[in-house]
Amino acid sequence: MSRRTRTTPKTTTATTPERTGEVRLHKALADAGVASRRAAETLIAEGRVTVNGRTITTQGVKVDPGRDTIAVDGRRLREAGRRVYYLLFKPRGYITSASDPEGRPTVMDLLQGVRERVFPVGRLDWDSEGLLLLTNDGDLAFRLTHPANHVPRTYRVKVKGHLPGEILEAARRGIRIDGRRTLPARVTPISSQLNTWIEVVLHEGRKNQIRRMFERLGHPVLKLRRVAIGPIQDRRLRPGGWRPLTPGEIRRLREAS
């Protein structure tokens, strides 16, 4: 009777070599101050980004910014240099974008004298006003806008008509939009005459969220102003005005996110 011997498979510690310094393409764009990570994904999907002369439309591609030639709309990517942080009071009638194919005024038109290439963190729609952060710090922008971090945004909102208690409670619990319920919000009445002023604190940033919530509840928004981003507020800033953030404000934003 022969003895059967068991063989074990050979193992190797060899791995496929990877270039050090590789990051995902949308992060490289954000780190260079081109756009937020979400907006960078849109640039990639639209075929506006090339790597070593090849157009990239697939998300998740890894690049080495130190070795690869990356370009957006034919312009070669440059390192962002020093990180800068600005707080802007966005007026109504401006879009929250670095550029607009329709030629409408953007928040970038207000930053006269800023030499660095920055992008807005989050958004405020055309008819809304209030505080907006602009930076070339892609990591901080990502942390501030990521839904898991629940960084609060505070708004003063004027809605049509008088808000009964059940409407306020419905807004606080959350409204189903696009098949998904909004996160619970803090909604506090401020004053009420013919129409009602309320303070709304959100922990997520879905597109036109407050306007869509109160439209669904039968009380359209008449005015909307963002008055705080996390711990950052400035009652002295006027529409169209902007200023650099202080080191303390930057630190508090990092701690909040």
Catalytic-residue membership of 125: yes
Q: Which residues contact 109 (CB under 8 A, 6 or more apart)?
A: 94
Token couple for 77? 């990517």
Nearest CA among 248, 252, 254, 22 for reference residue 142: 254
d(C-alpha 85, C-alpha 81), whole Å: 13
d(C-alpha 206, C-alpha 185), whole Å: 13
d(C-alpha 222, C-alpha 1), whole Å: 92
Q: Could you say which of 68, 125, 139, 234 is catalytic?
A: 125
d(C-alpha 94, C-alpha 2), whole Å: 86
Token couple for 220? 């359209």
Q: What's the Rg (C-alpha) of the chain?
A: 23
DSSP, res 3 = P
Does residue 136 contact residue 118 with C-beta atoms inside 8 Å?
yes
Cite the active site residues.
125
